Chain A
């Protein structure tokens, strides 16, 4: 196992932690992705086409490289170049609205703070993900707010050798909400529907899907780690039609971040939401209740389930349901073994 990223680190106040991390960065070089107080300074490779088109790239002065202050000069220069590229629109967006530069330089560094320092996530079975080429990653959904999807994407980017991006499929509610929809698209998400899933898989992307949907995220704390129904199995037919392997992912830890004790249905209906959660801290503490509890997270990717041999049976409901059940069973069993490994939900 290569879970070397300090699972024993206790959670600390995030601002002080980030400041303390900075000097450590200088000593151990570029082994792991950086976390720095200001995200725009985390730019490590300026996007090639933007800089080339402009003919202007802030040059790091090579004459003084071994001087101790130059790391900062370089960072400032890169940060400014990043800002200039963003302001001039010199970046690329794919047809789903995915902005890889913004994701790598801004979203993922922020999520990594949660992933590593707040949730102390441990990841197993990364070798089950393909280094290149498509796969459909199917996870269990929980936690009232779908942070598990974001943590899964962060884990995948952090631990795969090529730093791959997980293209998440979200409910249409996500794309109905202003701001949230914008962030979802820019970070590589799209609406959960078969045309989009198949299009992404055909172009060799890793696609993440949570077939439980709101039944999973919105379930109450008493039901934790009990997989809900898997819907119509649309995700299986997308994998079958494109012949891509399915990688089941079991996520432990998300159930405890916002333990949902009750659901105020009339209020949910009034606001047009699938549920209105009551947790030990929300809505009692107001905005403070939105801080997730620092549970300990474990994510395990199971062995891929091949589908290429079933490609012509994508329209056979029996094949689809059987495969969906197989995925569901794998995730449920992995959840049990992971839970045995983590007796205390808030332990180190």
Chain B
């Protein structure tokens, strides 16, 4: 509550879902003076109306230093991360360029900004890597045991390393690192929501990973609170509770198709080479190891409890009911029919006897 940024706030990545919504929320908050969106791309039409109250600057992270200096920004919210390579926009090379080099340039600009008081960084629970020796539940202090295979997870490790350096050099800036679980919700559109929206869902044979989700609305709320209030530190942000992958697929009424793990890795490579953005090694790692985090620190510090993983997933399911193959109601009807059939058969047998 101590230091509300009444000056200007720079939000990166406003051409994407998270950035556009965060910028819109901050602009609607009259405790905050100016909200400036920094993005090299123009926002697509579905987000354009959100950004009415937001000043937009076209430019990549390289131009961040001039923008931040000109605005005398008091807070920077860095959300411009790409979670999966998009072949239409340069694939993995462009993804790494934006994630790693972009963050480096942005942090370099922040370091030179004398009036900066707050930095909010988007990170991911992928920061814990994936290893068979991992504890079941990660706390913020857990160190990754193995370097993950997925490109996004490796980028996240690099990015968090740069933030550690920044914290050392600018101890006067309140730095908040938010390690988000995968986003879900009725209107979120991510690699995972597209995966669960398919009628037939590939899984890894012999593995049933534990998953956690975060409702996208809760993500927006947490970012908003990080900007408005002071919450220095690194926080796991996820819905409490766990769904196993098989359970999630069943709740969504989809059909799982177990695939041998080398097959899935090869298939994901093939899909990528064919120029479709699909499931990378990040997803394969998640589907082999699962990922569960402890959110005690978040709930205590922010005094806010995100929707549970099961509730967040239910919201997604209710928004995607159309694609369900085995809906809950159909199962109940089938159960009823079988039971009645058995009762009738037994009744006739008993009558004869």
A residues bordering B, Cβ < 8 Å?
54, 56, 58, 69, 72-73, 76-77, 80-81, 83-84, 86-91, 93-97, 99, 172, 175-182, 185-186, 190-191, 193, 195-196, 199
Contacts and interface: CB of A to CB of B under 8 A. Distances in A.
Given A172-B132, A191-B136, A193-B135, A81 B208 contact: no
B348 interface: no
A95 B339 contact: no
Given A56-B332, A88-B331, 5 more contacts: A58-B339, A87-B250, A88-B326, A95-B241, A186-B244
A196 B343 contact: no
Interface string B107-140: 0000000000000000000000000111111010
A180 B244 CA distance: 16
A81 B204 contact: no
Contacts of A56: 332, 335-336
Q: How would you classify the secondary structure of chain A's contact residues: helix, strand, loop or mixed?
A: helix
B136 A190 contact: yes
A185 B290 CA distance: 12
A179 B339 contact: no
A81 B137 contact: no
A84 B331 contact: yes
Contact of A84 (B246, B290, B335): B335
Contact of A94 (B242, B249, B338): B242
Contacts of A54: 328, 332
B261 interface: yes
Contacts of A77: 339
Most buried by A among B208, B248, B292: B208
B210 interface: yes
B205 interface: yes
A15 to B, nearest CB: 23
Contacts of A86: 250
A178 B248 contact: no
Given A93-B243, A95-B137, A175 B206 contact: no
A89 B346 CA distance: 30
A88 B251 contact: yes
11 contacts: A54-B328, A83-B335, A84-B331, A95-B241, A97-B208, A180-B206, A182-B206, A191-B133, A193-B133, A195-B135, A196-B137
Contact of A191 (B135, B142, B343): B135
B224 interface: no
Given A97-B210, A178-B205, A88 B241 contact: no
B335 A58 contact: yes
B136 A96 contact: yes
A76 B136 contact: no
B1 interface: no
Interface of B: 132-137, 139, 142, 204-208, 210, 241-244, 246-251, 261, 290, 292, 326, 328, 331-332, 334-336, 338-339, 342-343, 346, 350
A99 B251 CA distance: 16
B343 A95 contact: no
A177 B249 CA distance: 22
A-B residue pairs, 6 tightest by C-beta:
A178-B206, A89-B250, A179-B206, A89-B251, A195-B135, A89-B247
A181 B289 CA distance: 10
Contact of A182 (B136, B208, B332): B208
A181 B206 contact: yes
Contacts of A185: 208, 210
A22 B13 CA distance: 66
A172 B137 contact: no
Contacts of B331: 84, 87-88
B246 to A, nearest CB: 8
A310 B292 CA distance: 31
A305 B342 CA distance: 55
Nearest to A80: B335
Contacts of A99: 244
A89 B248 contact: yes
Contacts of B133: 172, 191, 193
A96 B133 CA distance: 14
Interface-central residue, B244, B248, B350, by most chain A CB under 10 Å: B244
Contacts of B336: 56, 58
Given A69-B346, A178-B261, A97 B136 contact: yes
A73 B346 CA distance: 9
Contacts of A95: 136-137, 210, 241-242, 292
Nearest to A81: B335
Contact of A178 (B135, B207, B247, B332): B207
A342 B172 CA distance: 72
B41 to A, nearest CB: 38
B132 A176 contact: yes
A317 to B, nearest CB: 22
A199 B204 CA distance: 28
A76 B132 contact: no
Q: Which of A86, A88, A94 has the most CB of B within 10 A?
A: A88
B244 A97 contact: yes
Nearest to A58: B339
A93 B247 contact: yes
B329 to A, nearest CB: 9
A79 B243 CA distance: 23
A81 B336 CA distance: 9
A97 B244 CA distance: 7
A195 B137 contact: yes
A191 B134 contact: yes
A97 B205 CA distance: 17
A215 to B, nearest CB: 18
Contact of B328 (A58, A83, A88, A193): A88
Which has the most chain A C-beta neighbours within 10 Å: B132, B136, B242, B326? B136
A107 B208 CA distance: 17
Given A69-B350, A89-B247, A97 B242 contact: yes
Contacts of B338: 80
Nearest to B141: A195
A77 B342 CA distance: 10
